[in-house]
Structure 1
């Protein structure tokens, strides 16, 4: 079974009509966006509102767009495993880490994506343009919550460092990838109770720190409701 490795609230999938599997064609010539990510890091490190979370105790990096193994087939971050968020999101992330360390000692939060530059958003949009999923892709013009620095895609490990089984990979397009499809998937046997329980462990930690989960994606959390973000924060310029 194929699972996507692209954030869809960035590809904002709020509802999945079916559990069909979407496999976009891989590019003939995969690219590495090295000059683009260099400019992005220069921006992120110079902006006083941005905080690097790469070496934050309690998290580890698994940025999927820093590899070729994602839905675009391109290495959007040129292999760079560095993650940034807005300082207001960083405060909530630190709170989530404290809750995790209290409730799940030895566990780690695994970051799949954090702040996302607009060039990467456009690359994702191109990948699904002309497909049944094109309407769900946030345009760079409007931006998704990652383009404001106020969203995280993440999983969680057990005390031995193993990612908890959530039933789908990061950025699956299946309906059961989100809370909205879990009851149905449990009934059909597509998900197990243990997999749903694992999702709820992550949700409990993130909600406890003030994060807002996306109902269609177990991995995606916003620091604030999207309406509030759009009214009070600027979108990235690049």
Structure 2
């Protein structure tokens, strides 16, 4: 009787332990479960150039951004496969891709918001927002929630056969109307370069963002209402 009782208790405790473990797994890691659907674009597209700005110091904050533990481009599988089509089409024309940013953890977005609210820190103004006050950046340029955190948005440009960036009329992450795709101040050749990038991207299913010539989002987005926060590593 004692053995039977102990066996029953042991079996019950094991069942409870498994149940609790399963509940913890379901409740604690829903985003991590989706992490397996993201791919390393650098491995998928070895010919693409990576200049992951938020991993280093050359960005509008002026230092590495939280959540970027490696200089990698991560994208949801659907967006990554579409980007492969872009690269193939670009190579036919003797061009290549240079990637600045892909998936962006929510903690990185939070870092941006803290920076933009620190009005005394203007170290990068001359390069990244020369014609705007820092208090004008929140909203159109820096948002509290970013489409990048969904894994379907990418920032990139085109390079020639020697790896030189095509002249787009403004650098990546320049917060100014000059970066609007159709800004009237850019030259015909600069506009042609922007439209070449836009055409390659839209042909593969990416939607442009008119305020930033480098910014595109694959449609439909795999997780249009989710903002992931796992780190880039």
TM-score w.r.t. structure 1 length?
0.69
The structure with the largest helix share of the pair is 2
> Do structure 1's residue 127 and structure 2's residue 115 form an aligned pair?
yes
The aligned counterpart of 2:149 is: 147
Aligned to 2:5: none
1:214/1:220 contact within 8 Å kept: yes
Name the CA shift for 1:163/1:79 in 2 (closer, same or farther; >3 Å).
farther
Query: Which structure would you say has the larger Rg?
Result: 2
Q: Secondary structure at the match of 1:126?
A: helix
CA separation in 1, counterparts of 2:38 and 2:180? 29
Instruction: Check 1:138–1:145 CA distance in 2 against 1; reply closer, same or farther (3 A cut).
Output: same
| Secondary structure, aligned partner of 2:136 | coil
1:235 to 214, 227, 231: 227
How many angstroms does 1:72 deviate by?
1.1
Task: Give the superposition deviation at 1:44.
Answer: 7.5
CA drift at 1:163: 0.5
Q: CA deviation at 1:46?
A: 8.1
Shift, 1:45, TM fit? 10
Which residue of structure 1 lines up, in the alignment, with residue 50 of structure 2? 61
Mark the CA change 1:145 to 1:78 in structure 2 (over 3 Å): closer, same or farther: closer
Match of 1:112 in 2: 100
Q: Which residue in 2 is equivalent to 1:167?
A: 169
Which deviates more from structure 2 when the two are superposed, residues 50-59 or residues 78-87? 78-87
Compared CA separation, residues 225 and 215, structure 1 to 2 (3 A): farther
Task: Flag structure 2 segments of 5+ consecutive residues without an equivalent.
Answer: 1-30, 120-134
Q: Taking structure 2 as the reference length, what is the TM-score of the superposition? A: 0.71
**Structure 1 residues 58 and 208, CA gap change in structure 2 (3 angstroms):** farther
Indicate whether 1:206 and 2:198 are aligned. no
CA RMSD of aligned residues (A): 2.3
| Distance in 2 separating the partners of 1:160 and 1:87 | 29
Task: Map Cα deviations across residues 112-160 of structure 1 (whole Å, 9 max, x no partner).
Answer: 0000011111111112226122233321xxx211000010000110112
Deviations 1:163-219 (A, max 9, x none): 101110001111120124x2x21xxxxx21111111111111111111101001110
Question: Structure 2 vs 1, CA of residues 147 and 58 (structure 1 numbering), >3 Å: closer, same or farther?
Answer: same
Gaps of 5+ in 1: 1-42, 186-190
The alpha carbon displacement at 1:237 in A equals 3.7
> Equivalences for 1:175-194 in 2 at 5 Å?
175-180=177-182, 182=183, 184-185=184-185, 191-194=186-189
